[in-house]
Amino acid sequence: MSTYTESIERLIENLIKFPGVGRRSAERIITYILNASAQEVETLAQGIIRVKQNVRLCKVCNNLSEEDLCRICQNPHRNKEIVCVVEKPSDVTAIEKSGSYRGVYHVLLGSISPLEGKGPSDLKIDGLLERVKQNCIKEVILATDADTEGETTAMYLTKVLKPFAIPVSRIGVGLPFGANLEYADSTTLSKALESRRSII
Ligand SMILES: [Zn+2]
């Protein structure tokens, strides 16, 4: 039987639902909470609620945003003619950190994964095609991960983008197979973007 109080035990059960948080980590977080000031804990709890209430997806690119359009889509200095397609919002953050990209993004919110039963219809692909149809997009850069799912997704996108007759390229040089974009360092990402190869 647990020696913790009922409220601690309940919080542990909730914390271990977080990705990467096991029981030991949950216990450490609770120790931190117990040692922190009431104000700090209040700020933390409010912060979680505020993120949940305010953060939504950008209506254009599906990046995380607190307004209809994310900051990148709103920025008049970004080149709206080049779209970099990524799997998740954290990939946008990784590429932005590299500081070498001035175009806009399209976040698919996943990748094609037959093993997990995820097909093209589970991703935000229609929105991408709609953007290509309606806007003057002159180039699409496929920056999905360098693993099997990412490559499968890139191949599928190449196929559906082909009829639009715009240049489509794939980043890759410098990224080892299996690499997750969000964990690649800025220099590698800059080089991968620079050395993208044309597919169409
Ligand atoms: Zn956006």
- Which tens digits make up the pLDDT trace of 89-141? 999 999 999 888 999 999 999 999 988 999 999 999 999 999 999 877 999 99
Q: What is the CATH number of the domain that holds 31?
A: 1.10.8.420
Q: 112-116, 142-146, 172-176, 192-196: lowest mean pLDDT where? A: 172-176
Give the mean pLDDT of 170-185.
Answer: 72
- On whether residue 66 sits in a domain, the answer given is no
Distance 73 CA to ligand 1 centre (A): 4
Domain span at residue 20 reads: 6-54
On whether the pTM is more than 0.85, the answer is no
Report the pLDDT value the prediction gives residue 100, as an integer from 0 to 100: 86
CATH at 139? 3.40.1360.10
pLDDT of residue 193: 80
If asked whether residues 166 and 82 sit together in one domain, one would say yes
**pLDDT digit string, tens, across residues 4-30:** 999 999 999 999 999 999 999 999 999
Domain count, the chain: 2
Report the pLDDT value the prediction gives residue 188, as an integer from 0 to 100: 78
Does the residue 67 lie in any domain?
no
Using a CB cutoff of 5 Å, list residues around ligand 1, an ion: 58, 60-61, 63, 70, 73
Cα–Cα distance, 4 to 190 (Å, whole number): 49
The answer on 90 and 23 residing in a single domain is no
CA of 171 to the centre of ligand 1 (A): 21
- Residues 46 and 143 occupy one common structural domain: no
